[in-house]
Amino acid sequence: KNQKPREKREPVVIEPPVYEDAETPCKAEPFLKEVLRIMEVDATCKSIKSDAEKTECMLIEGADAALLIGRRGDTLDAIQYLCSLVANKGEKEYTRITIDTENYRKKREATLSSLAKRMAGKVAKSGREIKLEPMNPYERRILHYTLQSNPKVETISEGEDPFRCVIIRPKEK
């Protein structure tokens, strides 16, 4: 295969969240470790828990960790969903589970924010709406949040999951 050399990019440095109760493992951690073993992925996971926010973040690190991201995070989202089911089974209160590897979530958020601003500029300039590709609720929320204070454009979501997408359109005067 003839592959083009990859462009050198500035690494995104993001500090992991620090929670008060960082020593308590997530209820889904054994399940995630088993998934990694079955998938034969050379990686480990560690959980970071916040009782105040009812949030548990599991970070996957290792040589093969990037394989778990998948196309636009689809694989990572699927694993996160399964871990959420395991962690919340039989529980009275819902705990939000987030799984990340190689700071993918923060990088994707920055990419989507940049996309939203770029598309908003095009919409403001042309006066025509732009329909973006289908995205999951988390990604759509990032786009809406990024453009909520933009005086020239507004955003709406349209369609049914999994084909629901964001439309950026000029604000009516």
What is the pLDDT, as a whole number, of residue 9?
Answer: 53
How does residue 22 score in pLDDT terms, banded at 50, 70 and 90? very low
Look at residue 39 and tell me whether its pLDDT is greater than 90.
no
Q: Average pLDDT of 39-51?
A: 81
Structure tokens at 123: 């919409």
Count Cβ atoms below 10 Å from residue 150 Cβ, excluding itself. 17
Structure tokens at 126: 């042309």
Which range has highest mean pLDDT (63-67, 81-85, 88-92)?
A: 81-85
pLDDT category of residue 44 using cuts at 50, 70 and 90? confident
How much is the pTM?
0.70
Average pLDDT rounded to a whole number, residues 13-19: 41
- For residue 5, whether the previous peptide bond is cis, meaning omega lies within 30 degrees of 0, is no
